[in-house]
Amino acid sequence: YLYTPDGEQKSRWIQMIRDKKPDQVEAGCSECCQGILLRVLGKSGDAVYDYFEDIAREV
């Protein structure tokens, strides 16, 4: 499952994923100090949702 800066964001992401019902989910950390990128891919392979959270201020 997804690790996010706070539980509320995690819940929002999980709900979004359930709503979209994507075939594939990619979650990664970009340099960790820069932020977290979440990409949800649709059946066509196009990104239906991109989310980048800047967590630098929280570090």
47 in a structural domain: yes
Residue 1 included in any domain:
no
Higher pLDDT, 59 or 45: 45
pLDDT of residue 24: 52
Q: What is the pLDDT of residues 2-57, one digit of tens each?
A: 555 555 666 666 666 666 555 555 554 444 444 455 555 555 555 444 455 544 44
The model carries a pTM of 0.27
Is residue 54 assigned to a domain? yes
- Does 52 reside within a domain? yes
User: Whole domain around residue 37: which residue ranges?
Assistant: 7-58
HSE (CB half, 13 Å, CA atoms) of 53? 19
Strand partners, 41: 24, 47
How many independent structural domains does the chain possess? 1
Number of Cβ atoms within 10 Å of the Cβ of 57: 5
What pLDDT sits at residue 41?
52
pLDDT computed for residue 56 by the predictor: 43
Query: pLDDT at position 37, please?
Result: 53
| Cα–Cα distance, 41 to 21 (Å, whole number) | 9
